[in-house]
Copies of this chain bind each other. A is one copy, B any other.
Amino acid sequence: MQNLRNLTYGIVGLGLMGGSLAKAIRENILGVPGASGSIVGFDINEASLAAARAEHVLDGVYTTSNVDEMLTRCDFVYICLYPHATVDFLQKHKESFKSGAIISDISGVKSLIFDDLKSLVRPDIDYIPGHPMAGSEREGYAMSSGKVFKNHNYILMPLPTSKTEDVELFKALITELGFTRIVETDARVHDHKIAFTSQLCHVIASALVDSAEDTAVTAFGGGSFEDLTRIAMINAPLWTELFLSNKKELLSHIERFEQSLGKLKRFIEGGNATELESCLELVRTKRESMSRIDIKA
Binding site for B on A (CB under 8 A): 133-135, 152-153, 155, 181, 183, 190, 193-194, 196-198, 200-213, 215-234, 236-237, 239-241, 243-244, 247, 250-251, 253-254, 256-261, 263-265, 268-269, 271, 273, 276-284, 286-291, 293-296
A294: chain B residues within 8 A (beta carbon): 218, 226
A84 to nearest B CB, angstroms?
11
* Contacts A/B (CB < 8 Å), 21 sampled: A133-B222, A134-B222, A193-B220, A196-B217, A197-B222, A197-B224, A198-B225, A208-B260, A209-B287, A215-B286, A217-B290, A223-B296, A234-B280, A240-B276, A243-B276, A244-B273, A247-B268, A247-B271, A251-B268, A254-B261, A254-B268
A154 to nearest B CB, angstroms?
10
Known: A211-B257, A268-B251, A271-B244. A220 touches B190 (CB 8 A): yes
Of the residues B210, B224, B258, B286, contact of A283 by C-beta under 8 Å: B210
A190: chain B residues within 8 A (beta carbon): 220
Among residues of B, the one whose C-beta sits closest to the C-beta of A201 is B224
A200: chain B residues within 8 A (beta carbon): 208
Main secondary structure of the interface of A (DSSP, over half): helix
Decide if A276 touches B193 in the complex (CB within 8 Å): no
Q: Lowest 7 A-B CB distances belong to which pairs?
A: A133-B222, A236-B280, A193-B220, A210-B260, A201-B224, A197-B221, A207-B260
A155 to nearest B CB, angstroms?
6
Of the residues B196, B208, B217, B260, contact of A193 by C-beta under 8 Å: B217
Of the residues B212, B221, B259, B295, contact of A221 by C-beta under 8 Å: B295
Decide if B196 touches A212 in the complex (CB within 8 Å): yes
Decide if B239 touches A206 in the complex (CB within 8 Å): no
A216: chain B residues within 8 A (beta carbon): 293
